[in-house]
Amino acid sequence: MTAVADRPTTTPAPRGRPVAPGRVLVRGSAAHRGLQVAGLLLVVALLVWASTWPLFRMGQLTNVFVLAIAIAGLNLVTGYTGLLSIGHSAFFGLGAYTTGVLVVQYGFDAMLTVPVAIGFCFVAGLLVGLPSLRIHGLYLALVTLAVGVAFPELVRRFDDLTGGAAGLVIRARLLTPPEWTGISRAQRGIWLFWVSAIALVLVLLLVRNLTRSRAGLAMRAVRDHELAAAAQGVHVARVKILTFGLSAAITGLAGALFAMYVGALAPDGSFTLLKSIELVTGLVLGGAATLLGPVVGAVAVVFLPYLTSLVAPGPVSGIAFGVLLIALVFLMPEGVVGRAQIALRRVVTVVDADHPALARTARDPGGPPEPDGQQPGPPPSTDEDQPR
């Protein structure tokens, strides 16, 4: 046993490929900020351009935005935290019916119902999240499935409030855009287009900041290894329940906007399990646990069926859609955005200013806030009071 003691204790690992300068973008540096601003301007330009389209096209885009918000909500709980929910149609419906009922039965202003819908769905999400503390994987999916199945039944049961199976019509008069916009009632599609576009941008900003925070780290830790996360001091129960609540609130926001978009709600229309499956499909296609995956997924879920029906008319189009889905999942299991990110990483890497790997390469002069004159390299070890 003693003969081996002076040999290296482990096979030296191949050095990580050094990050070539020029292909590294430091987060927060001028170049990185510039690219971000350019991206934002591009999005705004595209939106302005789209708002000159015919109302029908704008309506389709509004539908995409609303769906993207709903999928972004699902992404928090299923993508980032790894809790599969096939009950998000219920939150989508709860948001929609909160808006519908408050506007029709209680004469609320449509926009004022949005925060109420978000609040209701947040609470409902917390409750649905409770079983996730004890139940895992497919069993939890089954619980959420039950919620999804129950929702249309509840709508039918409380028919004096919701209109039951006959549906609930929100008259266009009740959805008139506010006067300061100068948009007429007939043109309210333009108003909703902008409202949902802005809501989507806000949701994406929220998701971005959340998933990059300590809370986001905790979410992904719970997804990767719940036991290990708990052993490191992550409060697993709080992470799961709050994520469920927030996820439901965002999907509920989408529901509220959807109610204004369609103007007529029916329990069997857009709030069945099929909606849940549509959301999951969009999430997987676009890329789970990616920021923009929900947007790409929503585009795919809305437009792919059109495309396949152009190529293969009639009942064959459903089969073509199915084949396309299988092909996409087979070729890009990470989703479109996930795959694009992997491809992009070959060209440029974005790292934090305090990333330890930067110590090996030349520090970006504009990047880190404290360009100290110290030689880059490891500081002496175990020196507790080493000034930094």
Partner 1 sequence: MSLLEVRGLRAGYGAADVLHGIDLTVDEGEVAVVLGANGAGKTTTMKALAGMLPRRGEVRLGGAELGTRPDRVVAAGMSLVPQGRGTLATLSVLDNLHVGAATRKDRKGIAEDVERWFDTFPVLRERSGQSAGLLSGGEQQMLAVARALMSRPQLLLCDEPSLGLAPIVVQGLFATLGAINAEQGTALLVVEQNAELALDLAHRVHLLEVGEVAATGTAEDFRRDDAVRRAYLGF
Contact set with partner 1 (CB under 8 A): 4-5, 7, 9-11, 13, 15-16, 214, 217-218, 220-221, 223-225, 227-236, 349, 351, 354-357, 378-382, 386, 388
The smaller minimum CB distance to partner 1, of residues 224 and 268, is found at: 224
CB of 4 to partner 1, least distance (A): 6
CB of 222 to partner 1, least distance (A): 9
The smaller minimum CB distance to partner 1, of residues 61 and 229, is found at: 229
CB of 6 to partner 1, least distance (A): 11
The smaller minimum CB distance to partner 1, of residues 183 and 226, is found at: 226
CB of 10 to partner 1, least distance (A): 5
> Any idea of the CA torsion for 193, 199, 205, 211, to the nearest 10 degrees?
-120
Residue with tokens 């529901």: 255
Close Cβ partners of 178 (under 8 Å, ≥ 6 residues apart): 111
The smaller minimum CB distance to partner 1, of residues 160 and 385, is found at: 385
The smaller minimum CB distance to partner 1, of residues 273 and 353, is found at: 353
CB of 16 to partner 1, least distance (A): 5
Rounded-to-integer distance, Cα 347 and Cα 338, Å = 15
Span between the terminal Cα atoms of the chain, in Å: 42
What is the DSSP secondary-structure string of 143-203? HHHHHHHHHHHHHHHTHHHH-GGG-EE--GGGGPPPGGGT--GGGHHHHHHHHHHHHHHHH
The smaller minimum CB distance to partner 1, of residues 159 and 354, is found at: 354
CA distances, 39 to each of 33, 46, 333 (Å): 10, 11, 26
CB of 234 to partner 1, least distance (A): 5
